[in-house]
Amino acid sequence: MIRAIHLFFLLAVFACSKASIDTDTPAITPPTPTSNQIVVAADGSGNFKTIQEAINSISKKADKERVIFIKNGTYKERIYLDGIQFLTFKGESEKGVIITISEARDIWSCNPANKADWGVATVNISQSTDIVFSNITVINSYGFEASDTPITIDCPTDATGKKTVRKDGHQMALRTFSGATRLTFKNCTFRAFGGDTVSPWDGTVGMYYFKDCTMEGGVDFYCPRGWSYAENCHFICHNTSAALWHDGSANKEAKTVLKNCTFEGDKGYKLGRYHLESQFYLIDCTFSDLMADADIYAAASGTGTPLWGRRVFYKNCHRQGGNDFSWLKDNWVIESKTVNSSWVFDGKWTPQ
């Protein structure tokens, strides 16, 4: 008995010592469902086996948060949120919860039964407010799976009756529509190989907050309209045209702000561009040495000289390798600590 107690004491001391040593890699305890949550589990151990079934089971209107807890698993389904309020999707782990479809926007648009982009993305959100996604991976896998050789398909909606589809064409993991605002994404991954991976697109009232997220895609793969704030996010670009894009044409105060973000991509990837009125702020960002020597630029197909001027601002941004391009120099005097969600969203929303 004494030996057993002594062994237990030694094990306890070892565990405490190890915990005090491993300060660089603290243990992360995954969230667990509680009694007031709807549980989704692909293996049937929850209330529902699909996420959409769980969404359909709740009322659309609410004045406080409802939670759908998603257990680890791969969910091959499109998510539709239409007119939903105060709903949180909490994944068991970011790498363990995968929502995925394979869809090229060019193929989708050739089906006369499809209504514009509604359903083109893995996650589709319309007329919904106060939505939170955390610890979730969202993938549109078409470009990762498609052949390098473009294909030609029948396309009744095209004047020629045909459409050529490339593996790096538009593929959306997230697409939001009119009335979708106050959307929060924390510890989420969004992946596609083509353009417009993350497309939050209400330019009038849209407000979007991304924190500790990874976003991957092709041209304009992070392309918000309205107000958007990305904090501590990582961007991976598979295109040499542009990683970032913004449309702020509906309101002079609309802006896209990226703070403490990191960038990598294929050799020669460009940072960003705009076709419409826009406003970019990049603070404390770091770029890989493969980034091209090309400032955020006005696209040739744009609307000409912006009415509000060219608004691209940098503060304490650097390229890896210690060789900063001249256009990365500070051109903005505000202190980094001043940049928070209240500043970004003009005092209308504070998701932090």
CATH number where 177 lies:
2.160.20.10
* Cβ contact 287:320 at 8 Å: yes
Q: Can you list the alpha helix ranges (DSSP code H) found in 234-337?
A: none
**Rounded Cα distance, 145 and 17, in Å:** 47
Across the strands, what pairs with 97? 73
Beta strand 85-91 pairing with 151-154: unpaired
pLDDT tens profile 28-39: 566 777 667 999
Number of compact structural domains in the chain: 1
- Is 102 or 20 the better-scoring residue by pLDDT? 102
Per-residue model confidence as pLDDT tens digits over 119-175: 999 999 999 999 999 999 999 999 999 999 999 999 999 999 999 999 999 999 999
In contact, 218 and 172? CB cutoff 8 Å: no
Answer whether residue 27 is part of any domain.
no
Q: How far apart are CA 226 and CA 314, in angstroms?
A: 19
| Closest by Cα among 251, 244, 264, 269 to 308 | 251
- Residues paired with residue 257 on neighbouring β-strands, in sequence order: 229, 281
Per-residue confidence (pLDDT) for residue 3, from 0 to 100? 40
239 belongs to a structural domain = yes
On the CB side of 136, CA atoms within 13 Å amount to 27
Q: How far apart are CA 49 and CA 304, in angstroms?
A: 50
In a domain, 190, yes or no: yes
In a domain, 217, yes or no: yes
List the domain range (segments joined by +) for residue 173.
Answer: 36-344
Task: State pLDDT tens for residues 238-281.
Answer: 999 999 999 999 999 999 999 999 999 999 999 999 999 999 99
Does some domain include residue 7? no
Rg (CA), the chain: 22
* Structure tokens given for 346: 């003009």
Helix, strand or coil for residue 127? coil
Q: Is residue 87 part of a domain?
A: yes
Tell me whether residue 29 is in a domain.
no
Residue 110 lies in a domain: yes
